[in-house]
Amino acid sequence: MEQVLFKSIYYVCRLLPSRAVLRVGKTIGTLAWWLKVRRRTVLKNLMIAFKDQHTKSELDAIALRCYHHFGTEMMRVLILDKETRKPMADWIDVEGVDLLQNRDQKGGILVGGHIGCWEIANFVLPKLGEKVTVFTGTHANKKADKWLNEIRAKAGAITSGGGDDRTELYNTAKSGLVALVGDQSPPKSPVVIDFFGRPTDAAQGTALLSLLNKVDCFYFSCLKKEGRIKVRIRKVDFEMAETRKENINRLTQAFFNILEKEIIENPEQYFWMHKRWKKDPDVDYRDADILF
């Protein structure tokens, strides 16, 4: 049933103009908001992150815009290869390419967060003249996971999933760029960093790939700005410590510091649907009023 639904939506999207598909996505976002799809989780995360900085009505407004944004981006993924046929200069601005071009090593790590239009990176990064492997992880639905990776490949990305050889990914980082989204809570072996003033579990894989290979780590983001997509690349700098463990913590924290600043500036473009602080005993994600 999932495959039939997914493929039906996919093929219908191929027949419609891109603007119409994205408008449908915004409508889906509105519907998800009114059906309370993870609404309690979104509002809880916003209250944790921004504390007393916004009134309840302001948080509701941010949350609704967040649903609009991700409804739109969900549909954009289905037409990503179609979107990428447009000249990049017509809708995308890129800043910081020189940092990649002038790096000291052949390899490198590109890390981003679940903010903005991160799937656009599957199109933009290969256009920078670099060999980029995108680590996509693995979705529960194997067929949908394969289909999404095929869409990403059509957009120009080389993908590596959760079931692929991690040794190969490690070696790839020595000779080319490895890109990944690294802001989710890991299932095991986390490092604890500060995120919005709260101790937060974070994955150490990004920092390990960078430190073990002795290659630079770069932060990338793809944000909506005044009707265009702004891609920004910057180096993640931190002060080296004496131990690898401390360096992992410092590099991971440096990445999250950049991410947090971007979230504060663009709160409606962050994926608040994740139960980001679910392991925190002080946070209660009760889903009594949620349909899905």
- Cα–Cα distance for residue pair 98/106, rounded to 1 Å: 14
Partners of 199 in beta bridges: 194
Full pLDDT tens readout for the chain, 292 residues: 777 777 788 788 888 899 999 999 999 999 999 999 999 999 999 999 998 888 999 999 999 999 999 999 999 988 887 888 888 889 999 999 999 989 988 899 999 999 999 888 877 877 777 778 888 766 666 666 777 777 777 767 787 766 555 677 788 888 888 999 999 888 888 899 999 999 999 999 999 999 999 999 999 999 999 889 999 999 999 999 999 999 999 999 999 999 999 999 999 999 999 999 988 888 888 754 444 4
Task: With CA atoms as reference, report the closest residue to 256 among 209, 213, 202, 215.
Answer: 202
Q: Which two tokens stand for residue 189?
A: 């072996």
pLDDT at 66: 98
Residue 193, CA distances (Å) to 118, 152, 200 in order:
23, 31, 5
- Cα–Cα distance for residue pair 50/267, rounded to 1 Å: 10
Task: With CA atoms as reference, report the closest residue to 108 among 31, 180, 18.
Answer: 180
- Cα–Cα distance for residue pair 67/187, rounded to 1 Å: 26
Task: Give CA torsion, residues 27, 29, 35, 40, to 10 deg.
Answer: -160
For the purposes of burial, counting CB atoms within 10 Å of the CB of 56, is it exposed (0-12), middle (13-18) or buried (19 or more)?
exposed
Relative to beta strand 228-235, strand 92-95 is: parallel
Given a contact cutoff of 8 angstroms between Cβ atoms, the answer to whether 117 and 222 are in contact is yes
